[in-house]
Amino acid sequence: MIELPFDPLERAEKVESLVMEDLSRRYYRFRPARYYGGIATADLVGCCFLCAYCWNFSRNLHPEQSRARCYSPREVGQRLLDIARQRGYSKVRLSGAEPLLGHRSFEHVLHVLGHVTAAEPRMEFILETNGFLLGHSPELADRLARFRKLAVRVSLKGWDEASFQKISGAEGSFFELPLRGLKTMLDRGIQAWPAVMYETFGASGIEEIHRRMEQLGMRPEELELEYLEVYPFVLENLKKRSVCLKASPLAI
């Protein structure tokens, strides 16, 4: 088991070396999904964080041991398009892990985007990311800004340094980078918004992340709430890290 907390920059570099072969990236499945009103989904493996509530935790902990294989950007884009066309979807996405680990995985995503956009210019591409790389290397956002049908969902892992470290497993000193990544995209005209896990944030955590966003010049009303998928291993991970869950309003 990896020692917590860890340096997410070092982990990102290590994980990228395990999941990338030239411009090909490891994926473990392609599927239709009900989210966003119906969307074709490509599930990757490998992340620079190890979030306690991650539904894909074991694959992201040891991506080299997962039953995943490498696909070229063209193969990924084509599989997404095939699912979308078969189901009548107008959206595709990358999910399951962190698409943007470093420069090689960033290039992979750009090529996937390019293939989808060239084949179906009206297809919306949703990139689900933790925002960390774009906070660390903001110049990369300029290359995303040319894709007009790109939408980026940034999953925030904590409302301050301590909660970020407890939830993500990464050192708390890196807390602000995902927020800065989100701000960078918004400043460049990219459609992007933050999402938080309600059961870990609760009302007080949401209020604090609102305050942090306002300090950086962002509008907190654009915050999306997601809700915990209560798998036994998720509850065990949360318990090990002493993450106290708040009651979901969906259960009231």
Average pLDDT of the chain to the nearest whole number: 95
pLDDT at 214: 94
Q: What is the pTM of this model?
A: 0.95
DSSP state of 6: B
Closest by CA to 156, choosing from 206, 204, 219, 117, is: 206
The continuous run of DSSP H or E covering 124 comes out as strand 124-129
pLDDT at residue 136 tops 90: yes
Cα 73 from Cα 109, distance rounded (Å): 7
pLDDT at residue 252 tops 50: no
Cα 3 from Cα 28, distance rounded (Å): 26
**36, two tokens:** 């966003």
The pLDDT of 61-79, averaged and rounded, is 95
> 241 in helix, strand or coil?
coil
40 contacts 158 by C-beta, under 8 angstroms:
no
Closest by CA to 25, choosing from 84, 92, 75, 80, is: 75
pLDDT at 249: 66
* Between 148 and 251, residue with greater pLDDT: 148
Burial class (CB in 10 A: 0-12, 13-18, 19+), 171: middle
Q: What domains does the chain contain, in order, with CATH numbers?
A: 8-153+162-246 (3.20.20.70)
pLDDT at residue 58 tops 70: yes
Split at pLDDT 50, 70, 90, the class of 66 is: confident
Between strands 91-95 and 124-129, the pairing is parallel
The share of the chain scoring above pLDDT 90, in percent, equals 92
The continuous run of DSSP H or E covering 149 comes out as none
pLDDT at 250: 59
Cα 32 from Cα 11, distance rounded (Å): 30
Q: Which residue has the tokens 């654009």?
A: 222
**Cα dihedral 97, 20, 18, 162 in deg (nearest 10):** -40
